[in-house]
Structure 1
């Protein structure tokens, strides 16, 4: 039926809560998060068996799960914890409840629930996996922002008295705009609120590392992992250097919003249903497009985004500058001294995050400044 001129078409709203297997599933394959398809606090290793196998070019819809509401300092009971903040039991995700109850997590493991790995048939070390982020749907109308373990940007100052702080943040969605909401004070008589825009993305995107040792979920690296780059919203692509046959892709740490830096340790964490297309870029083609990449590279509609990581923020910046130089030389044949001058004059180097043990920096190289290669 055609909408008459001058009449706004009715907006079709998604269900308030996207429980596993309900609501839109646009991918060719669907991967729910269950105790059998996730790891809690560790990333997949090269010897791990895939939970799904797909051919390059396949679209996969993944139900990712936030760890907030599940952790020991929150009582390890999501229904009870979210209930204290006014969330009805039916509005707590059943996969969150099941994973909290049935998935092992060691005391030294990270907090993140990681879904996967997914084998991409034919992927070999030296190739690059292109993860095209097609869609992120919010699974719940609320999120959580936490400061704990003395691991924020001010570890000796906050949280006060060493007590973990988890701030519940509801979502306001009027059908046109969605925003997170926080009170200005804890005084129940104070009705003032601050509202901030949402930009959903996955904090953890990665491929398996060689061998049988599963990496901790917190520090990012060459494999990707907990990169926490806010530019990985729907419409962007993340390029990851393949290190093991099949790539073994995984995803997790869903966010509704984050400021660059993520200074309090977490940002607005909440579960997403994300649809990705997993494409494979052969080694020679990847060299021409991106150079010999040493870690994740992001592409948005406007930018190519190389990354740098190190426990020392100064060194992370240096790694990012070198990665940007390599990309400019490989993709556009730019002389090194001219590429260095261009980066200084025209490229923003942003702090991705300073709270994941290994700090991250990313550079935004404007695609509009260059003619695309014809190869």
Structure 2
């Protein structure tokens, strides 16, 4: 499939500061988003930026020295950067989609078949697929994870507050994939059977399906575009967020990138985009924060396997909440939680979706009792009457349910 004429005319050069805002605008007045500008690597190594739009922020690129492929940092990981609490950090992440073995493990070649010139494929993506970096398609996780970074003074028992300031697509295209043995309809999709001896040299033998999806300016921001054989296009708005955020697990064993857990990781809660906050209980000294698996937009459930995945620049403010001193939502945390302007978000994670629902409910009850001082019985009744529980994802081995507790319902409990 070739890029359409409209897409090929887009300007691909410098920094689009307004992209995330345009993608999520709620204005009823039609807006014309700016021409897309690729977000190139800002510096070759982790550093503090002294010039440009991000001057004063710390910066982490995705290089062969700052990424892991398929695994998350554990307590033995060495930080690529150390920052003080309250610092702003910019991560340039690289999506795994278009780089994996069932896509040929050659970023320039894969995207070239979709009409993307080599100059419009990120240099980092090309370097990763051209390298000898080990990656086992069948055994390892697919995700390219950037980091970790250490936060000065972080110790087990503390909580890392992650304010998500901005998530900006770095390239004007992404990929949605469905693979054998994965997704909500395992055994039904993909329809094309796998063949013997698949490899990066013979990616067609995997029988997997990847749908190349450009993004284009729409009436109210950028839209994902799925072209149909009849020439009509499916258009849907973007809502960029990071699928993977977390802290290092307290183990010296490899931590697979697919299943989320108490340390965070591949949580895939699509509510946690720009302007929201995530909280993680610190497991090891330094916390060792990392991110990756950037999503341009994802439906609840993520049923096919992936969201619209594409490389993104994520900007965070990382603050340490010290145990026993600083205010932690729900007084304490043993697993991640989220916060938006309107909601508190509690998680339930389990290989069984029914058990994930139970865990999300128990955590929501615990939070309401600790945060607002009400009884468990009243909390349970309130949740049944007034709180939505949504399926985060069902495709990451460990399934996710999250509650969305409206803050406004507890206005009388909030101190002036």
For residue 16 of structure 1, report the CA deviation from its aligned partner. Answer: 2.0
Aligned to 2:319, what secondary structure does the other structure show?
A: strand
Contact 1:291-1:326 at 8 Å conserved across structures? no
| 1:168 partner SS | strand
Q: Secondary structure at the match of 1:338?
A: helix
| Helix, strand or coil at the partner of 1:283 | coil
The size of the alignment, in residue pairs, is 363
Report how far residue 295 of structure 1 moved: 1.4
- Pairing of 1:1-375 with structure 2 (within 5 A): 13=34, 16-21=37-42, 24-25=53-54, 28-102=57-131, 103-107=133-137, 108-160=139-191, 161-162=193-194, 163-174=207-218, 176-184=220-228, 187=229, 190-285=230-325, 289-371=329-411, 373-374=414-415
Aligned-pair RMSD on alpha carbons? Answer: 2.0
The verdict on how the C-alpha distance between 1:298 and 1:119 changes in structure 2, with shifts beyond 3 A counting, is same
Partner Cα distance (2:327, 2:363) in 1: 13
Distance in 1 between the 2:370 and 2:342 partners? 19
Equivalent-residue separation in structure 1 for 2:71 and 2:53 (angstroms): 29
Aligned equivalent of 2:25: none
Classify 1:285/1:332 alpha carbon distance in 2 versus 1 (closer, same or farther; 3 Å): farther
Shift of 1:183: 2.0
Secondary structure class of the residue paired with 2:164:
strand
* Counterpart contact for 2:162–2:319, Cα < 8 Å: yes
In 2: Cα distance, 1:27 partner to 1:234 partner: 20
Distance in 1 of aligned mates of 2:120 and 2:71: 27
For the structure 1 residues 117 and 271, does the alpha-carbon distance in structure 2 shift closer, same or farther, using more than 3 Å as the test?
same
SS in 1 for 2:214: strand
Q: How many Å apart are 1:292 and its aligned residue? A: 3.2
SS for the counterpart of 2:97 is coil
Contact 2:217/2:223 (<8 A) preserved: yes
Q: Which runs of 5+ in 2 are unaligned?
A: 1-30, 44-51, 195-206
Structure 2 equivalent of residue 6 of structure 1: none
Is the CA contact (8 Å cut-off) linking 1:238 and 1:299 kept in structure 2?
yes
How far apart are residue 156 of structure 1 and its match?
Answer: 1.2
Alpha carbons of structure 1 residues 197 and 110: separation in structure 2 relative to 1, 3 Å: same
In 2: Cα distance, 1:54 partner to 1:256 partner: 28
CA offset at residue 374 of structure 1?
3.7
Specify the SS of the correspondent of 1:264. Answer: coil
Deviates more, 1:153-162 or 1:251-260: 153-162
The answer to whether the Cα contact below 8 Å between 2:159 and 2:328 also exists between their aligned partners in 1 is no
